[in-house]
Amino acid sequence: MRKAERMMKKWTGGALALLVLIAAFGAWRDSAAAPAKTNTANERGWWKNAVIYQVYPRSFQDTSGDGIGDLNGITGHLDYLKELGVDAIWLTPVYPSPNADFGYDVADYRDISPEYGSLEDFNRLVAEANKRNIRVVMDIVMNHTSDENTWFVQSRSSRTDPYRDWYVWRDGKDETATSPGEPPNNWGGYGHSSWVWDERTRQYYYHHFSPHQPDLNWYNPAIEQEFKEITSYWLKLGVAGFRFDAIGTLFEDANFRDEPAALDVNGKPILDAEGHPEIQHVMTGLHPQVHTVMQQMRAHIDSFDTNTFPGTRVLIGETGGRTVKDLLQWYGTSQQPEFELPMDQQLGFVNKLDVAAFRQKIIEAETELGGNVPLLVFDNHDRDRMDARYGDGVHDVAIQRALSTILFASGGASLMYYGDEIGMKTTPPKTKAEVKDTMTGLANWPKYKGRDGERTPMQWNDGPNAGFTTGTPWLPVPPSAATINVKVEEGNANSLLAWYKALIRLKKTVPALENGANIMLDTENTKVLSWMRQAQGAPQVVVSVNFTADAQTVNLAGPQMKAKTARALLKSPGGTDPAKLDRIELGPFGVYVGEVR
């Protein structure tokens, strides 16, 4: 609404003129936000075997020369994404924001940040994506807003303002006329309180994340209604669904009780690296009310244009949780569904090449999710890329082939991060002065250097700034871009990019990989992970992934096999096509995918 307010100030002709202006602005905005024609009406449940590509818009492609990626840059690479085999792109927030957390501090939920473009640019992106059968999924941040959001500006203006109860405000302990006293409770961590004193209204406000991200008060029903209207707004523009950020933190303990101390196995307090007592964080997250909210949000979104697009919207959840039981609850029930695809990060973030751990997580996703579809995730904008978490500096490309095989050849949907397909490397800032992710990178330097390292510009070619921008990129382009880039890899049949394309194509065209059950094979092997995909009426497919830098030989000719031979569908460069399943030879971190016959 800030645009409208600026326009209104130019008009001084009284109430009538203002009403005319408001009407004109509303008509303009409705026109700018005209729904793009969408292709989603022709597929129910498209997400069940989908490849979803996370775009970090700031780092994907700059078309304006300001060094910041934009919506037109994404539109310009839709053909690349289509050729890769992408079904949907998830955009991290592109709303107006002061960028204290690069978009996750939202100032206006119904507009596009000028640094990314305009609503017209967004409409064109959706329309062009639909022409290529690619859907657009928006990020929705419901836990908190920016402290520059109009809601919060009004909330902190007065204790009696109508927006006051939209946020979490509390009196301090032992407050006096000259002192704020102590924060309302011990919520926070690492020696820092999650409460900020506001001198104007003499109360503390709560923030789960940054002080620039005050938490919304979800005990106020007006918040839920507002976000239903916000999601409707973007659905009218043709988006295919939403990824819900940090959804588990929506509610806090209604009685504002202190967090209990974290204790070790001997019952002694656990201290952090700075000697501060750690707490359990049970009062500020995963309260049962969040499931009621998501059931209602799901019902609202399912009912939106239900006669036109039934079953085609998707809700993705950043749900957290440590076990498969934690993950299961986010699907809801058949009577009260919640997310179609809560993000399963338990497999992809094992963070060590441990065959037993990977096998167990795959079994759990197959057998303990009640038939729901898992969404496997190996990378995102908040974690070091795969090279830093799994690589050995020598076999990084081979290791990423192995990991991507698990991502795409296991059952369910797959979420990948921009640049994974070419093997982009984590490149953190070298000095504190270079840090752009000030929210996490400065306070913890040098132990933790923030999240810049996994957000560097997409590497399109070996030219200036890797083809990302003609200006100065907002983050430096890594030296690795000289050899790790799309242009170089498109010309190499053995490149990681070629591997991703081939693997995704198999996921979409081989019936057993499209919808077959996962059955683990050779389950005592601690060096090679092997499994079979089996669908009724279709040939079985076997997959073997070597987790070691040494050559391995495996025997998969067990009783589950309908035949004893196989035809290679995909194998690591230099790999062999075995005549029989009882002797599959794998090179260092080698992969074999074969159709049994």
- What are the residue numbers of the active site? 245, 318
Residue bearing tokens 């194509």:
505
**Which pairs with CB-CB distance under 8 Å and at least 24 residues apart come from 304-310?**
304/231, 304/232, 304/235, 305/235, 308/41, 309/38, 309/40, 309/41, 310/44
Q: How far apart are CA 542 and CA 520, in angstroms?
A: 10
Q: How far apart are CA 213 and CA 208, in angstroms?
A: 8
In the structure encoding, which two tokens stand for residue 226, read together? 């507002």
Q: How far apart are CA 311 and CA 305, in angstroms?
A: 10
Q: How far apart are CA 283 and CA 64, in angstroms?
A: 45
Q: Within 13 A of 301's CA, how many CA atoms are on the CB side?
A: 29
Residue 81 contacts residue 89 (beta carbons within 8 Å) = yes
Residue 320 contacts residue 294 (beta carbons within 8 Å) = no
Q: Which of 165, 151, 195, 164 is nearest to 283 (CA)?
A: 195
Burial 198-224 (b: 16+ CB within 10 A, else e): eeebebbbbbbbbebbbbbbbebeebb
The DSSP letter of residue 144 is: B
Residue bearing tokens 């053909």:
79
User: In degrees to the nearest 10, what's the CA dihedral of 355, 356, 358, 359?
Assistant: 110
Q: How far apart are CA 532 and CA 362, in angstroms?
A: 12
Per-residue H/E/C for 488-557: HHHCCCCCHHHHHHHHHHHHHHCHHHHHCEEEEECCCCCCEEEEEEECCCCCCEEEEEECCCCCEEECCC
Q: Give every CB contact of residue 226 below 8 A, 6+ residues apart in sequence.
A: none
Q: Give every CB contact of residue 489 below 8 A, 6+ residues apart in sequence.
A: 422, 495, 496, 497, 498
Residue 386 contacts residue 422 (beta carbons within 8 Å) = no
Residue 562 contacts residue 531 (beta carbons within 8 Å) = no
